Chains A and B, each alone.
Chain A
Amino acid sequence: MTSDRATGEAAGEQDTSRQPDVDPGRAAPATEPLITETRIAGQLRSRTPALAGLAVLIAVFALFPLVFTNPTVTTIAVVTLIFVAVASAWNLFSGFSGYLSLGHAVFYGTGAYFLVVAAKDWNLNGTAVFWLLPLAGAVAALLAVPLGLVALRVRRHTFVVITIAFFFIAQLSASNLTVTGGSSGLLAPVPNWAPATYNNPFYYVGLLLAVAAVALSVLIRRSRFGLQLRAIRDDEDRAAGLGVRAMPVKLGALVLSAFITGMAGGLWVYFIGQAVPQFVFDPLFDLAVVLMAFFGGLGTIAGPVLGALILEPTQQYLYLQQSNGYESEILFGALFLVVILFLPRGVLPTAGEWLTPARLGRLRAAWPGRRADRIAQPVQRSKPPAAGSTS
C-alpha cells in the first residue's frame, strides 16, 4: 500500500464518519474516476515537498554535531539516535504485527556482547570496530529465529510473557557465562580518535543506522509483506484463511527487527565502553523502547522516531539534573501511565485528528473532485469502535 502515507493516514484516519448503508441500486456510476487514480495523482503532488522536507531534516541531523560541539549534548544525541533506530526496529515488528515484544533487549545485548568479544578476539581497534556492526546484527537476527519459532506460536499476553522470560534467561546467562565475563562484564575496545571530537564517529554511524531503520520501515510499510503484517495484527486467523502464511511473515519481521536492534546494541556498547549484564540486558530498555513507540504512534513510521527524539533526551536530561537516577525513572514510569491511559494510539494519530479542519482546507484546495468533497463532510472526532481499539 504505497499511497497510505499520503492519503490513508491523512484522510483515511479521519474519514471516520460512518457512511450510510450503501443502496446498491444507486452505487456509484462506472464513469466516475477510480479512487486509485485520484490517489496516485494526489500522491505525486504531495511527494515533492515531502522529499524536500526529508532532505532538510537529514541535513539538520548531519550538521548537528558540527554546530553543537558540547560533549554532553553530543553524548545525548548519540544515545538518542541509537534509540531512534531501536524504536523504529521494534515498531516494524511489534507495531506492524501487533505482537508486543518486551524482550528486544535480548537482541540489543546479544549484539553488544558479540561486538565486544569479537573485537577482542580479532584484535580490532578504532573505526575498524564499526565493521563488526552488521555481524552483530546478523548474530542477533540468527538468535531471533529459534526465539521467534517458539514465541510466535502464542499470541497477545502469552507472547509478551514469553518475551519477558527470554529476557531474563539472557540476563542470567550473561551474568554467569565465562564468555561474557560473568557479572563483572567486559571492556569494549578503546577508540583511538581525538578526544575533542570523540562522539562524532558514533554520532554519524548512529545516524546512518537510524536512517536505515526508518528506510526499512518505509519499505516494509509499502510492501505486500507489510500489508500481510498489518492484516495479521487485525485478525491473524482470517489472514491465514486468505492464504497469508502467518509464521514466515511474523518471523521475517522479527528477524529484520532483531538485526537492526543487534547493530544498535553493538554501537551502544562501543560508545559507552563496557558490557555489564545489568546494563546490557536492562528491563528499562524494553520499557523505554515500547514507551517511545506508543508515545509517538504505534505502527506509524514517524511515531517511534518522534517518541525517541522527545523521550530519550528528556530522560537523559532529567538523569543529569538529578543526583540520584531514580527520580528520572519514576517520572518516566508516570509518563508511561499517562501515555497508555490518555494517548493509547500515540501523539501522531491523536494530533492528526485535531488537525482535521486545517488539513481539510488544504486538501480541498489541492485536490478537487468528489473525494475531497467526501472528506469535507463533517468529521466526528471520536474513533469508530472497531478501529484501533488496542493501539
Chain B
Amino acid sequence: MTGTLRAESVSKSFGGLQALADCSLTAAAGRITGLIGPNGSGKTTLFNAITGYERVDAGQVYLDDQRITGASPQRVFALGVGRTFQLTRIFPRLTVLENMLVPANRGRSTRDHRERAMDLLAFTGIERHASALAGTLSYGQRKLLELAYVLVADPAVVLLDEPAGGVNPTLIHHIADRIRELNAAGRTFLIVEHNMDFVMGLCHEVTVLDSGTVVASGPPELIRSDPRVLDAYLGTEADDD
C-alpha cells in the first residue's frame, strides 16, 4: 500500500501568531510516525493544514506525488487520508452503526458497506453498541468509534489526534494494538500524542514540533535522548511522563 504524506515548508499564522513556521514533515508509507511537542506547538494546526480544515499561508502538502495543498476536507478524505479529532467528533444523534455508514462508500454496495461497518465495530470492540445512539458512548468508546469510521473508507493514511488522551490504560493498550495491526497491513499512521510511553512504544519515527518549527526528527530512541527535545519538550513538561 502506498501512502506517503509529506508537508513541505508549511507556514500558517493566525493574526500575529505564527502557528507553523516553515514546517516540514514526512509520514513514510507503511510506517507509524509520531508527532509530539508542547501544547500550542502547532501539532493540531499541522493536522488541519494537511487535511484541508485550514488553509496554509505557504508551503505544500503531498500525498505520494500528488499535491493536495488547499484541497477541501472532503477531497482529502476521498484521496485516502482519514483523520480523527483531539476532542472526538462523532455524530451524537445517529446510532453507532449509522455513524459508521456516514463516510463515503467508494462504490461499495450498501450491503458490503454495512458488513464492513460491523466488521470494524467488532475489530474495535464496540459492536455490541451498534444500535445505541453514539451520544451515549463513553469518551473512550467515542475514540474507538471515530477510529472505526475513519477506517470504513479504507484510507491509505490515517491521522490520529491524541488517540490515547483521556482514555483508561486498558483501552490505551487496546487502541495501540489495533493501530499496530492496521499498520502491519500496510497502513500509514501519523499520530499526535502526549502520552510518551504510547508514542515511544508504537512509532517508528518521531517528529518534534516546538513553536511551529520542527526541532528534531528520527527514531524514538534518538529522540528520547536528543538534548534539543529535552529542552523544548520533556524538560518543561515533566508531567507528561
By a beta-carbon cutoff of 8 Å, the part of chain A in contact with chain B is: 1, 4, 7-8, 11-13, 15-25, 27-28, 30, 32, 34-36, 39, 224, 227-228, 230-231, 233-235, 237-246, 371, 374, 384, 386-388
Given contacts A18-B138, A35-B127, 6 further A-B contacts (CB under 8 A): A1-B101, A22-B126, A24-B174, A224-B101, A235-B91, A245-B74
Q: Does B73 contact A (CB under 8 A)?
A: yes
A388 CA to B94 CA in the complex, in Å?
Answer: 10
Count how many chain B residues have C-beta atoms less than 8 Å from C-beta atoms of the other chain: 53
Q: Does B141 contact A (CB under 8 A)?
A: yes
Q: Does B66 contact A (CB under 8 A)?
A: no
CB neighbors of A among B118-150 (8 A): 118, 122, 125-133, 135-138, 140-141, 144, 149-150
Shortest Cβ distance from B142 into chain A, in angstroms?
9
Residues of B within 8 A of A28 (CB): 127-128
- Please determine whether B73 and A12 come into contact, CB atoms closer than 8 angstroms: no
Q: Does B67 contact A (CB under 8 A)?
A: no
CB-based nearest A residue for B123: A27
Residues of B within 8 A of A388 (CB): 92-93, 135
- Please determine whether B91 and A234 come into contact, CB atoms closer than 8 angstroms: yes
Residues of B within 8 A of A241 (CB): 51-53, 73-74, 76-77, 83
- Please determine whether A36 and B114 come into contact, CB atoms closer than 8 angstroms: yes
CB-based nearest A residue for B92: A386
Interface string of B155-187 (1 = CB under 8 A from A): 000000000000010110110000000000000
A246 CA to B170 CA in the complex, in Å?
Answer: 37
Shortest Cβ distance from B113 into chain A, in angstroms?
9
- Please determine whether B171 and A227 come into contact, CB atoms closer than 8 angstroms: no
CB-based nearest A residue for B85: A238
Known: A19-B132, A243-B104. A387 touches B93 (CB 8 A): yes
- Please determine whether A243 and B136 come into contact, CB atoms closer than 8 angstroms: no
A248 CA to B103 CA in the complex, in Å?
Answer: 16
Known: A227-B101, A242-B102, A243-B103. A7 touches B138 (CB 8 A): no
By a beta-carbon cutoff of 8 Å, the part of chain B in contact with chain A is: 51-53, 72-74, 76-78, 82-83, 85, 89-95, 97-98, 101-104, 110, 114, 118, 122, 125-133, 135-138, 140-141, 144, 149-150, 153, 168, 170-171, 173-174
- Please determine whether A34 and B127 come into contact, CB atoms closer than 8 angstroms: yes
CB-based nearest A residue for B75: A243
- Please determine whether B73 and A240 come into contact, CB atoms closer than 8 angstroms: yes
Residues of A within 8 A of B140 (CB): 21-22
Q: List 14 A-B contacts (CB under 8 A).
A: A12-B95, A15-B132, A28-B127, A35-B128, A36-B118, A227-B98, A227-B102, A231-B102, A234-B92, A238-B85, A239-B91, A241-B51, A241-B83, A242-B150
Pick from A15, A23, A34, A243: contact of B118, CB below 8 A.
Answer: A34
Residues of B within 8 A of A15 (CB): 131-133, 136
Pick from B78, B93, B144: contact of A233, CB below 8 A.
Answer: B93
Residues of A within 8 A of B51 (CB): 241
- Please determine whether A24 and B171 come into contact, CB atoms closer than 8 angstroms: yes
Residues of B within 8 A of A8 (CB): 95, 98, 131
- Please determine whether B136 and A27 come into contact, CB atoms closer than 8 angstroms: no
- Please determine whether A244 and B128 come into contact, CB atoms closer than 8 angstroms: no
Shortest Cβ distance from A47 into chain B, in angstroms?
17
Most chain B CB neighbours (cut-off 10 Å) among A21, A227, A371: A21
- Please determine whether A13 and B131 come into contact, CB atoms closer than 8 angstroms: no
CB-based nearest B residue for A17: B136
- Please determine whether A243 and B125 come into contact, CB atoms closer than 8 angstroms: no
- Please determine whether A27 and B130 come into contact, CB atoms closer than 8 angstroms: no
- Please determine whether B130 and A36 come into contact, CB atoms closer than 8 angstroms: yes
- Please determine whether B153 and A16 come into contact, CB atoms closer than 8 angstroms: no
Shortest Cβ distance from A371 into chain B, in angstroms?
7
Pick from A230, A234, A242: contact of B104, CB below 8 A.
Answer: A242
A234 CA to B90 CA in the complex, in Å?
Answer: 8
A387 CA to B83 CA in the complex, in Å?
Answer: 23
Residues of B within 8 A of A224 (CB): 101, 110
Shortest Cβ distance from B193 into chain A, in angstroms?
18
Residues of B within 8 A of A1 (CB): 94-95, 97-98, 101
Residues of B within 8 A of A243 (CB): 74, 77-78, 103-104, 153
Shortest Cβ distance from B52 into chain A, in angstroms?
8
A244 CA to B103 CA in the complex, in Å?
Answer: 7
CB-based nearest A residue for B138: A21
A247 CA to B203 CA in the complex, in Å?
Answer: 38
A237 CA to B51 CA in the complex, in Å?
Answer: 12
Most chain B CB neighbours (cut-off 10 Å) among A12, A20, A244, A245: A12
- Please determine whether A384 and B136 come into contact, CB atoms closer than 8 angstroms: yes
Shortest Cβ distance from A232 into chain B, in angstroms?
9
Residues of A within 8 A of B53 (CB): 237, 241
Residues of A within 8 A of B74 (CB): 240-241, 243-246
Most chain A CB neighbours (cut-off 10 Å) among B92, B102, B149, B171: B102
- Please determine whether B95 and A22 come into contact, CB atoms closer than 8 angstroms: no
Residues of A within 8 A of B76 (CB): 241
A234 CA to B131 CA in the complex, in Å?
Answer: 17
- Please determine whether B135 and A242 come into contact, CB atoms closer than 8 angstroms: no
- Please determine whether B133 and A238 come into contact, CB atoms closer than 8 angstroms: no
Known: A19-B136, A21-B138, A240-B73. A27 touches B125 (CB 8 A): yes
CB-based nearest A residue for B175: A24
Residues of B within 8 A of A234 (CB): 91-94
Known: A19-B132, A22-B125, A24-B171. A240 touches B92 (CB 8 A): no
